[in-house]
Structure 1
């Protein structure tokens, strides 16, 4: 739903007061009565804390940020996060990649409401299938946090939270959009309470987006590809129902499903081939939260994450890759005092892959973790440790140790050290010919130091120095007979400096990020592909009476891409919204204002200048 225009800093003076849950693992925390004025996040520690108190670099996109952004999906939003680069193999819905501080997509964890949704086959999630209409908020933690979440959280964690029900009378909204490439979008939803007391709340949202798109591949570089336009159709639904039994206990269910049909090009096919990929991302969970004593809160979640990808050529399905992640989570939060907290939990994961290309055994993972956050005078400490035991290759340990010193109410310095891992994907282990059941997890060690200034008047400004060293990287090596077999042979290092700002200049909301890094493949003594050494983003939005205007600027230096070089680029987007009445509004945006021709992946086209208009109804 579109929120009202304008807000004070901590965009969430609203969030901190919203009593609604950020995730089921944080809901029953009695901090909901806090008068903290800065935004509240949960991903950096698995418990609620003010954004300014997070030791790892953490980025928040709240409801207003999402409404302001020109991005149509979660992937586009990530392009505005500090330290994050994205790639697309074409237009909306196409295969994509996310690189957080130089880490690959398989080395950065994606969760929806705490549920893993990655493909067991590839080890990465389909972020390009997650439309923004179903996103209530999103948090991004940069850096090595496997000690909190296990495998793949080397580069960081992207956590998407679906919309929450709120204890007010039921409110509806409807939106319709039309724009370039014959793009059409319809969205509708309802949010509120099912009873007068407001103890049973719900939210239900549906959306449909269809675009004719453009030809994914550049015909000058891929002459065998079909030159037709590659369109995309997405149909999504998200829902939650929560009941508060007492002031100390609540339970509920969540559901998100996104179905996408993406037309794509094949550089090695025939110019007459018609290729489609039928995709699905689903997250379902049932949860219960309870306050057992004044200092002990417990959280139970049973969840299923699903990833499906079924390519089709000329009307015939060519392969089947269906992954399911069954999860059981139990977390306990112990509040020893206002300044000292312990979190401890157990997770069980059953991961299965159904494919017509090969057969792989089911994967079972048992995990235990514990964490401590505390304040001693001007010093803050965060310590986390985790053990993951896998059924197919053994166990892995992760740990995180962070320290921050507060010079005064605004300035602080922090340092951290962490060790993490990425489990081999099912393809790495068992894919015909190339799989190797004897390979071991990738490993990494990270260190970072940061200086931060935070205030309600300015927001949170942070400068971070970081270094991550990778070992045991999985690469596919020629075995001498022409076949490429998965092996633990790679080493890499990423060093850099990262600046970020979430805050204000007067009444203008500002978001900025700039990164200088050195992402090096030490095995081959060359830059890691598709990682720029310099990139940045900036956005600003302001309300002037019934009008809200803003813009985004995303820039990147040149990058290598599998034997080719991608030129640097700069793209500017503009947006404006006008409240016609208290209920009706019109929203207009222009993407790629200066009609730049650029590449995010070699051979693949990107959208040129486009204009889009939305008409919406949302009575307060």
Structure 2
């Protein structure tokens, strides 16, 4: 596969094209960077795609991109983990408007995507491959970077509301603009549904409510000095079931608070820039059950400094320091726990362009953890374009690590303070080819990742077991994505990935990670302005458990959609999800939605 990809890239590099505007990526380095400099695999889901697809959950959008697998306990709002390239769901680092939001109160610091709805989100970048130099702990599988909109020069607003299956209401609104030195925006989104039974064999509906709000304010005091303030809040109430059995007593309440305050300063005519920021993330999770109430709280307070020095166009140096303080609290069943740690990190990267079309990136990071000591990671990548961005040949090597979570270190009866960090080495090679003024874009990537010292539950420890570094895993495969726009009215996208993720000690496939997944989408705007589209996602068989004894059958889900503009500012839209009423599960014993229909209206000014 590697030889075929390289040969095809060399052949396509000679094909003449018409270059379009340069796309900017922010996730690879943590700063704006032209895609032609990025040597790693990055997929972008833009505002037009988010609006056209009409998806409620961010996870449903991620599932249409290469290398992504997910598992959800029941319907929308259920606990949802996202795996990149076969990594653990706890090894996906998640950012919302620049803030690291992995839950420090979770067993493995996993971010629960169940409560992250599309709301007023305008852009998502998915970076696949280990990348701990910029982000530190967690980025073994990759990074999911979620962003709300950037205010424009004019005042603008959007609002929408739709209603459908199981008394589901989805409403959102936002407004933004610029006046003098200030630019900013605010948004709010509300979702509620009677839901389905979380247990696949249950009959009692498990309802869900979600309220999200976001705000941004930027003050440009001068051309060289500015202040960024950002906030995001999510409140969610979920009825659920006790495992895979109907229950009216089991509920959860979640509050997430996200804050960012950053000062930006440019010196030496913009050649040297500084960013100093404080970020804060807190998750409160409260549960009721037949065994009584209990709850978790996790807080992560970070100080970030980042400097960028670009003495000449062909060279750029990025350097920084982070201090992170994760906290963990638990209360319930007659016990109380509280733990915290300190992590200090320094890093440096260099981006150089020694030849026309060639961009080389390399860097190193060192993290010092108050519990287990230090971890040093390296990374390097290259991007070569022989024809001004029409063809990009990419190769990368990245190291990743994940610090043990506070629960894994200190949890009552199960914690192990001798745990080592999980470590990974990731390699990939690929190409991107653009034809006919971006009317055809093909991307192919082959990858390999080895992870050692993976933390899992070890039943041989003590009376009840506990956490230990007992697993070594390997994931390898191929990702491909094709975008076609043969005419302005039609856009077609297809994504395929083969992911072979296994426990290297037992040879078993890692649970809930199907080897094969395909997603195909098409949208067409008719001459009378009606837009119609469909997405079909096919996922192969997988296993629910680490011993591969419990099979999850593969499935194919088709969604169709339509929209029609009544005026330039008013639009009606609707969709049917799971058109053919496919029965399937991403977690054994948990239910999923059957055929369901929704319709609504959008306005903008």
Q: Same fold (TM over 0.5)?
A: yes
Say if 2:434 is the partner of 1:448: no
Q: Give the equivalent residue in structure 1 for 2:8.
A: none
Q: Give the equivalent residue in structure 1 for 2:485.
A: 504
Q: Is the 8 A contact 1:358 1:432 kept in 2?
A: no
Q: Is the 8 A contact 2:160 2:171 kept in 1?
A: yes
Q: Is the 8 A contact 2:477 2:498 kept in 1?
A: yes
Q: Give the equivalent residue in structure 2 for 1:439.
A: 419
1:320 aligned counterpart, secondary structure: strand
> What's the CA shift for 1:429?
0.8
Name the CA distance, whole Å, in 2 between partners of 1:69 and 1:600.
Answer: 21
Name the CA distance, whole Å, in 2 between partners of 1:502 and 1:334.
Answer: 36
**Residues 512-568 of structure 1, C-alpha deviation per residue, up to 9 Å, x if partnerless?**
221112111112220000011111212222333533222211111100112310111
1:181 aligned counterpart, secondary structure: coil
Q: Give the equivalent residue in structure 2 for 1:173.
A: 158
**Residues 435-479 of structure 1, C-alpha deviation per residue, up to 9 Å, x if partnerless?**
111111011111111122135423542111110011111121122
1:214 aligned counterpart, secondary structure: coil
Query: Could you list the runs of 5+ residues in structure 2 that have no partner in the other structure?
Result: 1-18
**Residue 467 of structure 1: which of 424, 428, 448 is its match?**
448
Say if 2:233 is the partner of 1:257: yes
**Residues 41-62 of structure 1, C-alpha deviation per residue, up to 9 Å, x if partnerless?**
1101222123344211101111
Question: How large is the RMSD of aligned CA atoms in angstroms?
Answer: 1.9
Q: State how 1:504-583 maps to structure 2 within 5 Å.
A: 504-507=485-488, 508-545=490-527, 546-562=529-545, 563-583=549-569
Name the CA distance, whole Å, in 1 between partners of 2:487 and 2:348.
Answer: 41
1:68 aligned counterpart, secondary structure: helix
2:294 aligned counterpart, secondary structure: coil
Name the CA distance, whole Å, in 1 between partners of 2:132 and 2:411.
Answer: 26
Say if 2:286 is the partner of 1:310: yes
> What's the CA shift for 1:337?
2.0
Q: Is the 8 A contact 1:117 1:281 kept in 2?
A: no
Name the CA distance, whole Å, in 2 between partners of 1:167 and 1:603.
Answer: 50
> What's the CA shift for 1:480?
6.2
**Residues 577-616 of structure 1, C-alpha deviation per residue, up to 9 Å, x if partnerless?**
1110122111111111111111111111110111111112
Q: State how 1:145-160 maps to structure 2 within 5 Å.
A: 145-160=131-146
> What's the CA shift for 1:434?
1.2
Q: State how 1:365-514 maps to structure 2 within 5 Å.
A: 365-377=343-355, 378-409=357-388, 410-455=390-435, 456-458=437-439, 460-479=441-460, 482-502=463-483, 504-507=485-488, 508-514=490-496
Give the alignment's TM-score, normalised by structure 2: 0.91
Name the CA distance, whole Å, in 1 between partners of 2:189 and 2:28.
Answer: 30
**Residues 357-381 of structure 1, C-alpha deviation per residue, up to 9 Å, x if partnerless?**
5424311111111111122224221
Name the CA distance, whole Å, in 2 between partners of 1:454 and 1:321.
Answer: 48
Name the CA distance, whole Å, in 1 between partners of 2:225 and 2:440.
Answer: 34
Say if 2:173 is the partner of 1:188: yes
Q: State how 1:48-197 maps to structure 2 within 5 Å.
A: 48-122=32-106, 123-168=109-154, 170-193=155-178, 195=179, 197=180
> What's the CA shift for 1:498?
0.9
Name the CA distance, whole Å, in 2 between partners of 1:152 and 1:505.
Answer: 40
Query: Could you list the runs of 5+ residues in structure 1 that have no partner in the other structure?
Result: 1-34, 220-225
Q: Is the 8 A contact 2:40 2:395 kept in 1?
A: no
Equivalent residues, number: 573
Q: Is the 8 A contact 2:200 2:244 kept in 1?
A: no
> What's the CA shift for 1:120?
1.1
**Residues 207-257 of structure 1, C-alpha deviation per residue, up to 9 Å, x if partnerless?**
1110011111122xxxxxx63111110011101111111222221311100
Name the CA distance, whole Å, in 1 between partners of 2:20 and 2:268.
Answer: 24
Name the CA distance, whole Å, in 2 between partners of 1:392 and 1:132.
Answer: 37
Q: Is the 8 A contact 1:372 1:382 kept in 2?
A: yes
Name the CA distance, whole Å, in 1 between partners of 2:142 and 2:400.
Answer: 11
Name the CA distance, whole Å, in 2 between partners of 1:586 and 1:490.
Answer: 51
Q: Give the equivalent residue in structure 1 for 2:326.
A: 351
1:120 aligned counterpart, secondary structure: coil
> What's the CA shift for 1:299?
1.2
2:258 aligned counterpart, secondary structure: strand
> What's the CA shift for 1:407?
3.5
Q: Is the 8 A contact 1:205 1:238 kept in 2?
A: yes
Q: Is the 8 A contact 2:105 2:329 kept in 1?
A: no
Name the CA distance, whole Å, in 2 between partners of 1:521 and 1:434.
Answer: 23
- For structure 1, which segment, 578-587 or 184-193, has the greater mean C-alpha deviation from structure 2 after superposition? 184-193
> What's the CA shift for 1:131?
1.7
> What's the CA shift for 1:266?
0.9
Q: Is the 8 A contact 1:415 1:449 kept in 2?
A: yes
Name the CA distance, whole Å, in 2 between partners of 1:277 and 1:113.
Answer: 26
Name the CA distance, whole Å, in 2 between partners of 1:339 and 1:574.
Answer: 47
**Residues 308-329 of structure 1, C-alpha deviation per residue, up to 9 Å, x if partnerless?**
2111126x96211111111111
Q: Is the 8 A contact 1:310 1:317 kept in 2?
A: no
**Residues 61-114 of structure 1, C-alpha deviation per residue, up to 9 Å, x if partnerless?**
111111012320222221122110111110111001111000111111001122
2:212 aligned counterpart, secondary structure: strand
Q: Give the equivalent residue in structure 2 for 1:213.
A: 195
2:229 aligned counterpart, secondary structure: strand
> What's the CA shift for 1:403?
2.1
Name the CA distance, whole Å, in 1 between partners of 2:282 and 2:131.
Answer: 23
Name the CA distance, whole Å, in 1 between partners of 2:51 and 2:500.
Answer: 34
**Residues 159-178 of structure 1, C-alpha deviation per residue, up to 9 Å, x if partnerless?**
1112222221x333322110
Name the CA distance, whole Å, in 2 between partners of 1:519 and 1:338.
Answer: 41
Say if 2:303 is the partner of 1:328: yes
Name the CA distance, whole Å, in 1 between partners of 2:485 and 2:35.
Answer: 15
Say if 2:589 is the partner of 1:603: yes
CA distance 1:445–1:272, change in 2 (3 Å)? closer
Give the alignment's TM-score, normalised by structure 1: 0.89
